[in-house]
Amino acid sequence: MGNSNEETLTLPTGKTIKIQTGLFIDNEFVESVDGKRFVTIDPSTEGVITTVAEASSKDVDLAVEAATKAFSNVWCHIDGKERGKLLNKLADLMERNLDDLAALETLDNGKAFSITKTIDLPEAIRCYRYFAGWCDKVHGKVIETQNDKFCYTRNEPLGVCGAIVPWNFPISLMANKIAPALACGNTVILKTAEQTPLSSLKVAELCKEAGFPKGVINVLSGFGSTGTVMANHMKIDMITFTGSTEVGKSIQKAAAESNLKRVLLELGGKSPSIIFADSNLDTAVKFTFNGSFFNHGQFCVAATRIYVEEHVYDEFLKKFKTDAEAIKIGNPFESKIYQGPQISRKQFDRIMSYIKTGKEEGATLLMGGERHGERGFYIKPTIFTDVIENMTIMQDEIFGPVTCIAKFKTIDEVIEKANLTKYGLAAAVFTNNIIKAVKLSKEIKAGTVWVNQYMEGDSSLPFGGYKQSGIGREMGKYALREHTQVKTVQINLETNCN
Ligand code: NAI
Ligand code: MG
C-alpha cells in the first residue's frame, strides 16, 4: 500500500509531522477492508485533526491471521536475546523521535507537551527497556519427584495477545501492554482508543523500522465495537485491557463465552488518600494535589477521596485550595501549562453532570465546578467538601479534575470509610508513625498503597486492582506469569523403558 494513507499534520507550534493513518497489519499500513475512516479531534480546539482507518471484524480477522502466522512461524522460534534486542531498538528509536511522539500525544489527547515529553514518553521507553531485560530470563524449573523421573516445567507464550487501551495514557499504556507480551514470546494486536489513535501509529512505524518481523505487532484504530470483536475472537488467546469496569466485565464475559481466553483487566478506581495530623502537611498537600489533578484527573489511581484528620483539616484545606487555584489551564503546547482540556465532549459532559449531582446531593462546592474558557473541553479544578460516603461523587469514578475532601477522627473510622467502595486500585497514607503506616497498608483493600507519596510507579513493580478494580497484575516479574502458560514435562528415565 506504500504511503497511500500518509498525512502531514501541522502542530499549533507550526511544526509539521508525517503520520501513517492506515491500519498496521503484517508490517504494512493498509486501508480497512470496507474503506471506513473516522475523525480524531483536538480536544483543546474541538477541531478535527485528521481521519484514520477504522477496523471492522474483517480487519480484525486479517490482523489475527498475520499475528497467528508470525507467532507459529517466526516469533516463538526467535530466542529471547533477539527479542530483547528488538525491544531495546524500539526504545532507542522512540528516544530519537521523542519530540514528535510527545507532540502527537499532546495534539490528540490534550495533555501538556512539557509533561508528555518528560513523563509519558520516558515512562514508555523505560518499560520497553525493562521488559527487554526479561526476554532471555523467562524459564521454567526442574522439579525433583522420583529418582527415575526427570520433570521440568516450561513457561511458554500464550499465542496472540489482544490489547485494548484507553485514551488517558496512549503511548505509555501501549508499552505496558505490548512489552511484556512480546518479551514472553507472544504476538500482539493493539486496539487504540478511538479518541487517541495517532501516537501508537507512529510507534507502529518505529516497530517496523526496529526490525520486528511482520505480523508480530499489529495496531488497529477503532471503536468499542472493534474491541468487542477481539474479545469474542476464537483465535485470540488473551485480552489485556485498561478502561472502565463496565467494559472490563463485558470482556470477561465474552472471553468466557468464546474460547475461554485469558483476561488481564486494569479497571477503575476511587482511591482514598489519608492524611494524619502527624504527617508532614506540605508533603501531603504536594502529593495529594498532584494525585488529584495530574492528567486533568483522568487516571485510574486518582486521589478522589481525601480524608484529613480533623485538627489539621482546616490547614490542609487552605494549602490544598491555594495550590489548586494556582493551576495553569490552557493550550497544552504552551510552556508552564499544567492542565489541558478533558479528552472529549462526552467526558466533559459526564464530569459536569457529576458536579451537578454533587451539589444536588448536598456536598459543598469549595471551588471550580464550571467550564474554563469558551472553546475546548476545559474544566476548572474542582473541590467538594462536606462529603459523605453514600454520595454519588464519593462512589463513582469521575475521571476529571474533581476531588472530595472529608474529615476523620479515628484510625478505625478512616479504615472503614476508605474501604467503602466497590473499587480497590490504590490508596495513600500520610503519617510519620510507622506503626500507623503499616497498619493502614495492611487494612486497606487496594492493589497499591503509597506511604508519604502518591502515584510513584516503576516498571518493576506489580500493578493491579482488588475488588472491581481488576484482575491480574501488570508490570514487574508478575507480568511474566500473566503472559505465559506453564507446561509440565515428565520423562521416564528407567533404563528398560525402550
Ligand atoms: P471504555 O472502557 O469504554 O474504553 C476503553 C477502551 O475500551 C477503548 O479502546 C474503547 O474503544 C474500548 N471499548 C469500549 N467498549 C468496548 C467493548 N464493549 N468491548 C471491548 N472494548 C471496548 O472507557 P471510556 O468510555 O473511554 O471512559 C468511560 C469511563 O471509563 C471513564 O470516565 C473512566 O471512569 C473509565 N476509564 C478508566 C480508565 C482507566 O485507566 N482505568 C481509562 C479510561 C476510562
Ligand atoms: Mg483525539
CA of 251 to the centre of ligand 1 (A): 11
Q: How far apart are CA 383 and CA 390, in angstroms?
A: 17
pLDDT digits (tens, 9 = 90+) for 313-325: 999 999 999 999 9
Residue 88, C-alpha cell as written in the block = 531495546
Where does residue 194 fall: left (phi above 0), alpha (psi -120 to 50 degrees), or beta otherwise?
alpha
- Mean pLDDT value across residues 233-257: 98
Cβ partners under 8 Å of residue 225, min gap 6? none
17 pLDDT more than 50: yes
Q: How far apart are CA 394 and CA 352, in angstroms?
A: 15
Q: What is the dihedral of CA 370, 374, 376, 382, to 10 degrees?
A: -20
pLDDT, residue 495, reads 77
CA of 107 to the centre of ligand 1 (A): 20
> Which uninterrupted H or E stretch holds 226?
helix 224-232
Neighbours of ion ligand 2 (CB under 5 A): 40-41, 108, 195
CA–chain centroid gap for 404, Å, is 23
Task: Kindly report the number of other CB atoms within 10 A of residue 494's CB atom.
Answer: 10
Query: What pTM was computed for the model?
Result: 0.98
Q: Where are the domains of the chain?
A: 6-267+472-485, 272-459
Residue 364, C-alpha cell as written in the block = 459543598
**pLDDT category of residue 2 using cuts at 50, 70 and 90:** very low
Listed residue (374, 380, 363, 287) closest to 326, CA to CA: 380
Atom number in ligand 1 closest to CA 396: 34
**pLDDT category of residue 123 using cuts at 50, 70 and 90:** very high
Are the C-beta atoms of residues 121 and 351 closer than 8 Å to each other?
no
pLDDT digits (tens, 9 = 90+) for 89-111: 999 999 999 999 999 999 999 99
1 pLDDT more than 50: no
- Mean pLDDT value across residues 416-435: 98
Are the C-beta atoms of residues 217 and 23 closer than 8 Å to each other?
no
Cβ density class 437-458: b for 16+ within 10 Å, e for less: beebeebbbbbbbbbeebbebe
pLDDT digits (tens, 9 = 90+) for 149-186: 999 999 999 999 999 999 999 999 999 999 999 999 99
**pLDDT category of residue 498 using cuts at 50, 70 and 90:** low
pLDDT digits (tens, 9 = 90+) for 329-370: 999 999 999 999 999 999 999 999 999 999 999 999 999 999
Indicate which ligand has the atom closest to the C-alpha of 221. 1
Average pLDDT, the chain: 97
- Mean pLDDT value across residues 274-290: 98
Indicate which ligand has the atom closest to the C-alpha of 349. 1
Fold of 272-459: Aldehyde Dehydrogenase; Chain A, domain 2 (3.40.309)
Which of 266, 309, 474, 482 is the catalytic position? 266
Atom number in ligand 1 closest to CA 350: 32
Listed residue (159, 191, 376) closest to 262, CA to CA: 159
260 pLDDT more than 80: yes
* Active site (annotated) includes residue 266: yes
pLDDT, residue 3, reads 53
462 pLDDT more than 50: yes
Q: How far apart are CA 79 and CA 63, in angstroms?
A: 23
CA of 189 to the centre of ligand 2 (A): 21
User: Does domain 6-267+472-485 correspond to CATH entry 3.40.50.80?
Assistant: no
pLDDT digits (tens, 9 = 90+) for 360-416: 999 999 999 999 999 999 999 999 999 999 999 999 999 999 999 999 999 999 999
Cβ partners under 8 Å of residue 63, min gap 6? 23, 25, 55, 189, 218, 220
- Do you know the residue count of the chain? 498
Q: How far apart are CA 38 and CA 55, in angstroms?
A: 10
**pLDDT category of residue 147 using cuts at 50, 70 and 90:** confident
Find the farthest-apart pair of alpha carbons in the chain and give their distance in angstroms, rounded.
85
CA of 177 to the centre of ligand 2 (A): 20
**Ligand 1 pocket by C-beta < 6 Å: which residues?**
164-166, 168, 191, 193-194, 223-224, 227-228, 231, 242-244, 247, 250-251, 266-268, 300, 347, 397, 399
pLDDT exceeding 90 applies to what percent of the chain?
Answer: 97
CA of 487 to the centre of ligand 1 (A): 34
Atom number in ligand 1 closest to CA 347: 32
* 174, 194, 279 from 165: Cα distances, Å: 7, 10, 37
pLDDT, residue 4, reads 66
The helix-helix angle for 198-210 and 170-183 (nearest 10°) equals: 40
Q: How far apart are CA 131 and CA 175, in angstroms?
A: 10
Q: How far apart are CA 201 and CA 55, in angstroms?
A: 13
pLDDT digits (tens, 9 = 90+) for 37-87: 999 999 999 999 999 999 999 999 999 999 999 999 999 899 999 999 999
52, 230, 244, 399: residue to mutate for ligand 1 pocket, most atoms within 8 A of CB: 244
pLDDT exceeding 70 applies to what percent of the chain?
Answer: 99
